[in-house]
Structure 1
Amino acid sequence: MLLTIQPEELTKHWYEVFEQIEWTEVLLFLFYVACIFLVRAVVLAISRRLSKKRMFRHVDSILRSILNWATTYGILLFMIFYFSESGWMFNRLFDLGNVEITAFLLILVILIVSLANRAAKIITRYILPNVYQRYHLDRGLSYTFDRMFHYTVMAIAILVSLTTVGLDLSALTVFAGVLGVGIGFGLQNIASNFISGIILLFERPIKVGDRVIIDDLIGDVDKISLRSTVIKTIHNEHVIVPNSYFLEEQVVNRSYGDPRMRLVVPVGVAYGTDAEKVKRVLLQAAQEEHQEGGVVLLDPEPFVNFSAFGESSLDFELMVWIANSNQIITTKSALNFRINRLFAEQDIEIPFPQRDLHIKSMPEIKREY
């Protein structure tokens, strides 16, 4: 048994610890904490005024981050030193294995884990990006390294915090057994998504920044966590997809391997139009779009496909390759505008469906009287 104190005994023991608290010290401590928050509020108010000036526009965000960090850990350290001579800080709250857990040990564990979490975020935000830029790593691989580094630091911090309080890690085998039973009975989906998240981060069939299609939903991979993946659609909607979906279902990844993509622009012209002229105009549209933005590629060369003799039109398809699949919508729209303008200049008619209705007269019926 990890907990060696019965609930009744635990309640009685905590009541005894509660009686040892000197409330005058607690009130004075809360007063000091309130003063710290008051100073923080004054400094932030001054920084907000300074940030309105162009020279100090980044001061507010930087100072806010520093103050949040200093306030959180400053209060925890101040609490440890302020109550260092108080008996209740080091009195036993409960037993975990062979270790007596006190309020001091709980605060120390929180301090170690939170410091590790903050340090990991600072390193992944300000230090590692310079390393990625130096070795020309793409966004997806950089994100994978960030996640693995963060999870590794947190795992080490938890192990260090547990050993710091003197906890024998073998005592946690009971929790491991309970977790195994939970996975067997009711946590299959969570375990599956967790393992799938690890596979996605290492195998990388999708990565952050990829343009994917899921059930006719087009979006970019915004975040890959251990349980789910966030897809940001082209309409700025965020869709949360379980990680196991990407390993079990068919997913179209437009950014996988080669970012280039072939774009097909269908167009119909009236019967009687010179087909060679239509071909020249469509190729001219592709050439002009290449010169305009460079998204349309000339290698592979654009191609005009005479696809069919339609009911009301001669059907053509302009096939071009674009450099970035993320720009397929804007490029197709630009080509349509350009084709419509060139057709108007060259007197090429774009027909609309027509139906001829023939009314057949009925023979007169002679009436007999």
Structure 2
Amino acid sequence: MEQLRTIIEGIQNNKISFWIGAFIGLAIILIVRAGLHAVLNKVIKQKRTQLFLETIVNWITLFILVIYFFMYFSKTSFIYQTLFVFSNTKITIFLILAVLFAIILAVKFSKAIREYILPSVYDKYGLDRGLQATMNTFFHYTIVTLAVLISLSSIGFNLTSLTVFASVLGVGIGFGLQNVMSNFISGLIILFERPIRVGDRIIIDDTIADVEQIKIRATIVRTRVNERMIIPNSYFLEQKFVNRSYTDKRLRIPVKIGVAYGSDIELVKRLLYEAVDELREETWPDVLDQPAPRVFFEDFGESSLDFTVWFWIDSQIDEREFLIPSDLRFKIFKKFSDNNINIPFPQRDIHVISENK
């Protein structure tokens, strides 16, 4: 260590060689990191183990970079040069870099905990996906906030200076940040009150979407055509929307069918019930027997007798609410064909009258 420090001090006496040495050292560290990642990709085949070891390598690399930086630049004057004074606290490059390193470490620490430790806790206590997302978000921002405060206090930053920043921020909010803060506070309310949760299926302006991620400012949802909508959090507290998964994830699905006039309506009713039962037994156990399916004679249409069959499914995840009705229509069509039940289509008779003059 003393030899390394001696070499660094020698390099620092020459400005050109100083910066060349800095870049060479940085390049060596990054090359070694890339080499270790390549070795892990070849040697380790299990994906989860590979990711875990790569995370450890990234952590070690970051620590080495921090140590290298402060050892290399410790004797330079510019790193402690005052950039500006903020409420009697001198802001230097060292202070900015220290806070930046603390934030990076906090983010990496939070990510490692959320990926490798918290999932086992969630599984142990059987927490649902929405609550997991809430706890992950809360844990992440708590760790980052604590890291910033601790790093500032440890390097001599006067935390009472933050009261000045808070007052300035308050003025900014009053003039131009109302929407930002509204969405921020709405995000906190959503995380704790949970009117929507990750995994919920919602309907916004007749668009069906699944909640993918709830952030502090906005919520990301995925539509049926795999598009992402970014919706401000305040929307969910101020506007009307449908949350199909709020208390009960079961869904009642109607399938409409018309048969020709003169058809045996009792036979039609029996065939519709049989189609639902066979669908549940053969293909989709998601179709519930309780609440029981229902068949309704809806109306006397212009060209058909209109029926509707209702049935319930136990979940709205994936695309089941669209796949199951489609499969039921295939089955109904086949049953009607086998039993000579006709499905009519609108017809118009046109009479042409010609007049002989």
Same fold (TM over 0.5): yes
Deviations 1:143-184 (A, max 9, x none): 111111111111111111221222222222232222222212
2:325 corresponds to: 332
Q: Which of residues 200, 205, 208 in structure 2 aligns to 1:215?
A: 205
Q: Does 1:181 align with 2:171?
A: yes
Counterpart AA for 2:37: L
Bigger CA drift: 237-246 or 94-103?
94-103
2:268 corresponds to: 278
Distance of aligned partners of 1:100 and 1:282 in 2 relative to their CA distance in 1, 3 Å threshold: same
SS at match of 2:291: coil
Extract unaligned runs of 5+ from structure 1. Answer: 1-18
Kept in 1: contact 2:284–2:324 (CA 8 A): no
Distance 2:165 2:210 in 1: 38
Distance of aligned partners of 1:249 and 1:111 in 2 relative to their CA distance in 1, 3 Å threshold: same
1:13 corresponds to: none
Q: Which of residues 182, 186, 189 in structure 2 aligns to 1:199?
A: 189
Counterpart AA for 2:240: Q
Kept in 1: contact 2:218–2:232 (CA 8 A): yes
1:309 corresponds to: 300
SS at match of 1:296: coil
Counterpart AA for 2:29: I
Q: Which of residues 230, 246, 270 in structure 1 aligns to 2:236?
A: 246
SS at match of 1:351: coil
1:170 corresponds to: 160
Specify the structure having the higher radius of gyration (Cα). 1
1:345 corresponds to: 338
SS at match of 2:245: coil
Q: TM-score, normalised by structure 1?
A: 0.87
What's the RMSD between the two structures over aligned residues? 2.1
Residue 318 of structure 1 deviates from its aligned partner by: 0.6
Kept in 2: contact 1:76–1:107 (CA 8 A): no
1:26 corresponds to: 19
Distance of aligned partners of 1:58 and 1:205 in 2 relative to their CA distance in 1, 3 Å threshold: closer
1:294 corresponds to: 285
Distance 1:190 1:56 in 2: 43
Bigger CA drift: 39-48 or 140-149?
39-48
Residue 63 of structure 1 deviates from its aligned partner by: 4.2
Distance 1:247 1:34 in 2: 50
Q: Which of residues 33, 36, 49 in structure 2 aligns to 1:43?
A: 36
Counterpart AA for 2:250: R
Kept in 2: contact 1:21–1:88 (CA 8 A): no
Deviations 1:170-199 (A, max 9, x none): 222232222222212211111111111111
> In percent, how many aligned pairs have the same letter?
46
Deviations 1:38-97 (A, max 9, x none): 22233333344446xxx4555654444333333233212211123334444444444333
Q: Which of residues 341, 347, 351 in structure 2 aligns to 1:358?
A: 351
Residue 203 of structure 1 deviates from its aligned partner by: 0.9
Distance 1:227 1:162 in 2: 26
Q: TM-score, normalised by structure 2?
A: 0.89
Q: Does 1:230 align with 2:220?
A: yes
Distance 2:49 2:287 in 1: 43
SS at match of 2:307: strand
Bigger CA drift: 315-324 or 185-194?
185-194
Distance 1:139 1:324 in 2: 15
Q: Which of residues 125, 128, 139 in structure 2 aligns to 1:135?
A: 125
SS at match of 2:117: helix
SS at match of 1:100: strand
Residue 21 of structure 1 deviates from its aligned partner by: 8.1
Distance of aligned partners of 1:43 and 1:144 in 2 relative to their CA distance in 1, 3 Å threshold: same
Distance 1:43 1:295 in 2: 48
Counterpart AA for 2:339: Q
1:83 corresponds to: 73
2:7 corresponds to: none
Residue 361 of structure 1 deviates from its aligned partner by: 4.5
Q: Number of aligned pairs? A: 343
Bigger CA drift: 268-277 or 287-296?
287-296
Kept in 2: contact 1:144–1:201 (CA 8 A): yes
SS at match of 1:297: coil
Bigger CA drift: 332-341 or 62-71?
62-71
Counterpart AA for 2:292: E
2:6 corresponds to: none
Distance of aligned partners of 1:21 and 1:317 in 2 relative to their CA distance in 1, 3 Å threshold: farther
